[in-house]
Amino acid sequence: MDFVTVRELRSESAKVWDRLEAGEELVITRNGKPFALLVHTEPSQVEERLRALRWARFDQLLAEQHRRAADLGLDAMTQDEIDAEIAAARLGRRGHDARGR
């Protein structure tokens, strides 16, 4: 994987497109920081690639939530404690709605 600046993308776009067509994966940088990814795809692969990207994002977010739960000590909760928290939140929401707010 190689890095290409936004400026290079604008000024030398034909070269960038050639590299993509050759199968290279490129990271576009803006102000020296990664900004976007460019990968070659075929029309028949667009949905499959987008689905894979979305799953990767989901997996990353889920791992982040697991780390956060562990940091807060919530990963040790029993199912009964989880159910009690959910019931309390639902009860609180119903009571809040009953007051007209």
Q: How many CB atoms lie within 10 A of CB 4?
A: 20
pLDDT of 41-54, one tens digit each?
999 999 999 999 99
Q: What does CATH list as the number for 1-40?
A: 3.40.1620.10
45 Cα distance to chain centroid:
20
Q: What is the pLDDT of residue 21?
A: 92
State the pTM of this model: 0.60
Q: What is the pLDDT of residue 75?
A: 87
Map out the domains of the chain as residue ranges: 1-40, 43-101
Q: Which residues in the chain come in under a pLDDT of 50? A: none
pLDDT of 29-43, one tens digit each?
999 999 999 999 999
